[in-house]
Amino acid sequence: MLNTHTSLRLLKWTTVSLGALCLVIVGYAFMGYAPPSTLLEGRLLPKETMQENRWQVITEQEVLSGATIAPDINVLFKLPEGMEQITREVLLGMRGRTVRYWGYCLPNEYEPSVEFGDRLPGKVFLSEAEREYRTQQQIARLHDRFSPFKEYTESDLNEVLPDTYIRHELDLFESETTCYIMAEAPLPIGLDEDGDEANTQVENEYGTDQTNPDTDEDGVSDGREIFFLHTNPELRDTDGDGLIDGIEDANHNGRVGADETDPNKWDTDRDGLPDGYMKMGKCELIEKNSTACSEGRRSIMRGEDKNLNGMVDENESDPRKWSTAGDGISDWQKYELCIFNGGTDC
């Protein structure tokens, strides 16, 4: 692997040739696609920023340890030698659906002195948000040609595109590749050593273990907790209901299914009882059995999944249903009635 000094020197040398190439790319991307007044908006660079022509260089070592791509400037990064292939989404911190960015990667064998004719070498990548922005511009171009009574098709969309329109081409990144990127907001860039879909910079930001795909060992990977469940990847039971996140998200796919409870809500069905089993409230206020309070217990254990196994067993109510029996009486009301009548296993 190249040392930091050599890597910086090569990247700075590449900046000259790639900087010129980027100007060509901008021309290919937007000339003939939008009127001059919108060129800067499409390029993601404010006018005053573009005049400064600022650059950021991210070395191989910085990609390994994790770094942040600055917004609204030209950025070059070099991927480390010997790294495994990595998806665009993971490399750039899963920000593509909310952040507009676009970039271009040169082929590893690229020679700046070789003319490439009417086709650019390498491949272009655009975030989902950038592609959606461009699609909306396409649709706007169809406004005069179609109406609510005559819908347009995908072929109609393609007809309004000039031949030089830039398209997304790259989703899998290889080692030793040099790339250019421009973004409208900061992007965390890094590799994914433990395969949990959270790159090194994301794990730096959240304080999770870069060598352990499931830092809190709750059964759900760090990346899926961060990006999809939005739970705490360092806490086994995010909502404190007694059920660990991996039991609530039973299939560990990072999404709350219809047959699962929500690891961000201690009471998924909002019936007043915790999904799992936990201490709740002062017994003087909620306990009808005065004996419990006289024993000095300031809180009591209650919940729907008493054995915390993620299943509805005998003498348990369903934490996904406000009324397990479906009779219009909430599980909370039945619990209170049981307590009032002196029940010991309510």
Instruction: List, for residues 5-28, the tens digit of each pLDDT value.
Output: 544 454 544 544 454 454 444 433
Q: Is residue 259 part of a domain?
A: yes
Alpha helix (H) residue ranges in 128-257: 128-141, 154-159, 200-206, 222-224, 245-248
Residues 111 and 250 in one domain: no
Ranked by mean pLDDT, the top range of 104-118, 142-156, 159-173 is 159-173
- Provide the residue range defining the domain that includes 289: 271-346
pLDDT of residue 240 exceeding 80, the answer is yes
User: Domain total for the chain?
Assistant: 3
Q: Which residues, at least 6 apart from 327, have a Cβ–Cβ distance to it below 8 Å?
A: none
Residue 166 has what pLDDT?
A: 75
- Give the dihedral of Cα atoms 232, 236, 242, 243; nearest 10 deg: 90
> 204, 227, 249: which is the final residue of a domain?
204
Q: Is residue 52 part of a domain?
A: yes
Q: For residue range 183-212, list pLDDT tens digits in order.
A: 999 999 999 999 999 999 999 999 999 999
Residues 152 and 291 in one domain: no
Q: What are the structure tokens assigned to 271, written together?
A: 């019936």
Q: For residue range 302-334, list pLDDT tens digits in order.
A: 999 999 999 999 999 999 999 999 999 999 999
pTM of the entire predicted model: 0.78
Q: Is residue 209 part of a domain?
A: no
Q: Is residue 56 part of a domain?
A: yes
Q: Is residue 317 part of a domain?
A: yes
Q: For residue range 41-93, list pLDDT tens digits in order.
A: 345 554 454 445 689 999 999 999 999 999 999 999 999 999 999 999 999 99
Residues 191 and 46 in one domain: yes
End-to-end CA distance of the chain: 64
Residues 186 and 281 in one domain: no
- The better pLDDT of the pair 155, 127 is held by 127
Q: For residue range 48-58, list pLDDT tens digits in order.
A: 544 456 899 99
- Classified as helix, coil or strand, 286 is helix
- Separation CA 238–CA 230 (nearest Å): 10
Alpha helix (H) residue ranges in the chain: 4-30, 39-43, 47-52, 60-65, 88-91, 128-141, 154-159, 200-206, 222-224, 245-248, 283-286, 290-294, 331-340
Residues 240 and 105 in one domain: no
- Separation CA 49–CA 68 (nearest Å): 18
> 204, 227, 250: which is the final residue of a domain?
204
For 98-107, 190-199, 272-281, which range has the lowest pLDDT when averaged over its residues? 272-281
Q: Is residue 224 part of a domain?
A: yes
Please name the residue that has the structure tokens 């030089």: 164
Residues 276 and 152 in one domain: no
**Mean predicted lDDT score pLDDT of the chain:** 81
- The better pLDDT of the pair 249, 301 is held by 249
Please name the residue that has the structure tokens 């809500």: 265
Q: Is residue 109 part of a domain?
A: yes
- Separation CA 261–CA 18 (nearest Å): 51
- Give the dihedral of Cα atoms 339, 340, 342, 344; nearest 10 deg: 0
Residues 158 and 306 in one domain: no
Residue 32 has what pLDDT?
A: 30
- Separation CA 328–CA 103 (nearest Å): 57
- Separation CA 165–CA 187 (nearest Å): 25
Residues 300 and 345 in one domain: yes
Residues 236 and 301 in one domain: no
